[in-house]
Amino acid sequence: MLRKVYFIMKRQFFSIVVITAIFAAVFASCSDDDGLSYSYSSEYTIYSASNQRILRELMFVLKPYIMHEGVKKYIVVSSIDNINVLINGQEWGKSSSLEVDVSNINKEVVENFYVRTEPVKYVTKAPFVLSNEILTTAGEYSELLSRYMSLQPGGYICQIEYIELTDNNGDIHRVYPLIAEYFEVKENIVSAYIGEFEILID
């Protein structure tokens, strides 16, 4: 009887140690100096329980445009903001495209946007990000870890739910492009290229 009690207590103690270690790692990885969001930076490698590297970042190219007199005019801005990404219908996070130097680009003004006839490609690197407004309890951190670790090898649907662009007057335009793209996660990769997409701004 005493041996059985000892075994149970030993197993419980081991479980507590493992759970404590997991949460310590999550809190350390999630710290952010500005306090705005928790993000897994590209300088870190995330490992699964089997010690395999797992996907942490999505990459894609956006080309927003407007139609003017039957002609595509591609929007020229420094960046596209608040690009909201979903994976299989679940939040992945919000990102901005990489900054573009627009000072040397030949452009004209149409509908309060700078535009040109040639496409402007906005490269976006979208790491897993979750707002700290959502993460308030240890249980929610555990759920974050479970969700983050869930992109094991296999097929997924990436949705770009909406993006935001700022026009020349400072007004913000939110657009829902209805982009949904299938992609595959392979073993030991840490990023995945989703594709290149044109988005009509109307």
Is residue 65 within 8 A of residue 73, CB to CB? The reply is: yes
DSSP structure class, residue 53: B
Least confident of 40-49, 138-147, 193-202: 40-49
CA distance 120 to 72: 12
Per-residue model confidence as pLDDT tens digits over 119-130: 999 999 988 765
Per-residue model confidence as pLDDT tens digits over 47-106: 344 445 567 789 999 999 999 999 999 999 999 999 999 999 988 889 999 999 999 899
- Radius of gyration of the CA atoms of the chain, in A: 22
Residue whose tokens read 């300088």 = 43
Predicted structure pTM score: 0.67
Tokens found for residue 194 = 């989703």
pLDDT of 54 reads 64
Give residue 202's pLDDT band: very low, low, confident or very high (50, 70, 90): confident
> Is 139 a residue whose pLDDT tops 70?
no
Per-residue model confidence as pLDDT tens digits over 7-58: 444 444 434 333 344 434 444 444 443 333 333 333 333 334 444 556 778 9
Give residue 146's pLDDT band: very low, low, confident or very high (50, 70, 90): low
CA distance 96 to 166: 12
